Structure 1
Amino acid sequence: MSRKLFGTDGVRGRANTFPMTAEMALRLGAAAGRYFRRDGRNGHRVVIGKDTRLSGYMIENALTAGLTSTGMNVLLLGPVPTPAVGFLTRSMRADVGIMISASHNPAADNGIKFFGPDGFKLSDEAEAEIERIVAGSFDLAQPQNIGRAKRIDDGRGRYVEYAKTTFPTGQRLDGLKVVVDCANGAAYRAAPDVLWELGAEVIPVGVEPNGLNINEGCGSTHPEACADAVLKHGADLGISLDGDADRVAIIDEKGRLADGDQIMALLASRWAEEGRLKGGALVATVMSNLGLERYLQGRGLRLERTKVGDRYVVERMRGQGFNLGGEQSGHIVMTDYATTGDGLIAGLQFLAAMADSGQPASQLVSQFDPVPQLLKNVRYAAGADPLSTEPVKAVIAEAERRLNGSGRVLIRKSGTEPLIRVMAEAEDETMLREVVDGIVAAVEKAA
């Protein structure tokens, strides 16, 4: 069946607007309970985490009602990073994990992400089956079999202790001054705690959530806040997370930004030298820079490209046994440590490289010279399909002809917002701007 609720990263939308309503959250909870309690036994459990959005209370309560109505026992973690939910789902032997978050989106949005008992996000097939159940009726539990719900006070602490174990044994961060921008989101307590307990002098930014300020002028989508703090305090490094802390941007001591491609290049080369890079390959999406691909080829490594979305990166990694992948946006997936992108643990791996090499961040964030890349977004109305119009198709075909052999063009719909993303790469920056602006103008006219 075609999926209407689930996008590339769970169910997402504007709070109190379909599909992100209390009613739909209740039905999703009941459907997930029905799906994961197919054997009819009691004792099944689900862990639920959330970020700091005001609507998280509403969604959490509605999910809990739906899940308990089908006999699932609910363990409420409170605000924790998305990777913590993946970790705790497996660690606590839960049948399913749920994260309530719209990641890097504004506070008015929210989302629901599901994890299976192995801690990994659900497959397309599992999500499609849950969506099918949502559209039907539910077998509710008998009164004596209704599930229970309780708060878990040590969920964040368990994740903090685990995150510290991913830092090399015997190494410390003593003497390093680190800015960590938590985007007023899910990691506002966990990330500063981990860094401080490992010995760093910590400058926290974005750690005063009020339910409405998540990702507002801070976090990985607004790295200038972290960069300003790095320069102001003379810090050695800035780690900028997004609202649910599954992505990261690194800021060097000069206030310069390194995206996910540069971080992945550093980790891939280091892990290859140490014999830790499985399969001799890095998995990334079609959005990653051509310069990254050339960098890896120069070291005898491969770049495996997937569709956009960290779920597809993880599927390729698991299917072929790779252990490092991610996205240019800062999702860094290290399956030796986590089941999904983990911005904090990626930051720790960068800090480990600094400690091992004795080099400042500014030398480590420039692993390769990127090919000039330009990305622009075009918002479109619900129900519109500007990419299917003949004028837009003609402009895209002409752009591909102009860039043939000297660059590439990529146009796609966002899986989380009503946006069309127009991206191109080319050594000739004048041609690059002309190509992108031409496509954007055509899409805007059609939209």
Structure 2
Amino acid sequence: MKLIRFIILILIVLSMGFYGPGLSSASKVEELQNQIENRSSSISELEKEIAEYQKQIQKVSEEKQTLNNEVYRLNLDKKKLTSDITLTNNRIYETNLDIEDLTDGIGDKEKRIKNNTIALSETMRLIYESDSNSLVEILLSTDDISDFWGDVEDLQRFQIGVRERTFELQNLKTDLEENKKLTEEKERELLGYRADLSDKKEIVEYNKKEKDQLLSTTKNKESEYKKILAEKEKLREAFLQEIQNLESQLKMVIDPNSIPDTGKGVISWPLDSIFITQYFGKTEFSTKNPQVYSGNGHNGIDFRASSGTKIKSVSGGVVKGTGNTDTVPAKCYSYGKWVLIEHENGLTSLYAHLSLIKVVPGQVVNRGDVIGYSGNTGYSTGPHLHFGLYASSGVKIEQFTKSINCKDKFVPIAPYSAYLNPLSYFPEYK
């Protein structure tokens, strides 16, 4: 009987420590989960809406370049960007709910761990005190031998229970650490979404200015639009000739050992969704339009990318320079907003026609870091990403001091031998 009373006492102590979430806590968890599910459903619908806008933008970009189509494209861009902002707001709200849920879980687990630790400590103390009673002493103090063996079995079952509770405590501690890690990840996600939201709002303003400027300069007339397009082509041809003259004077033999061997996946894609609209070198478009490329072929690769699409660094490296050829007076039809990154493997990459630049010269970037957003700056027949790749030893940033329309603008230049075909280093294009 003495042993039975002892076991009952310990069970009472243990029951004080091991408990699950209370009714109010469980109710709050359920409420949070419902809110998260509802928000996830809204996010899914917004993603479908954005995908539909993307299809419409793609369709209009493939049609004849007219003023009406350009205005329609800008309106679609605005709708897509507005949906992007709503989507990001929903993701921020959902992430806050996730953090609240995880924080509540952390608080609950910390309380349970504290109480369970106290209960187990008290249990160990009681067991230690009972160790002075040997089985012989328990046998002598028991009136009935069958009661003795029953007490021993109860004690064995109790010891198993204590061991299981100890494992449960260890699992609680593991879950607690996991919750803390998840919370840190969610907080990093939240920072990213907030930065993304700020960027998208800025790009919406860029979209509005682009449309206002288009309507103002064309006076909403198709004939004026055609004149402006013709003037842009003429000015771009003149500037490309200036670049060609400079690059033809650059005499450099590129050491093949200074760049990596060609191979799939040496660099990653600069976009999440890949569709190439123009390849490197003597393409059909560059051949049909020699006035655009001075007869030398396309010096990079063009990717389809609607305004506001995230552009990512293809490899780790350092930002060698950034620039904007559209600054006043805006008649330097070249790369628009551009970023040049020198990589650790001897390659240097160019990202042009951006709507927003997110890096500064000298900044260290990792593969996959967002360095800007796609746009329609510079000489561009529609929003896209122009990507160029060079041998690092051959490319440099030059300021045009004698140019007529691009005076004092900075752009990357390189001898012909330093230009590389990006597809020789990208992952396989399917």
TM-score range, shorter chain: under 0.3
TM-score by length of 1: 0.25
TM-score by length of 2: 0.26
Question: Which of 1 and 2 has higher RCO (CA within 8 Å, sep 6+)?
Answer: 2
| Structure with a larger share of its residues in helix | 2
| Structure with a larger share of its residues in strand | 1
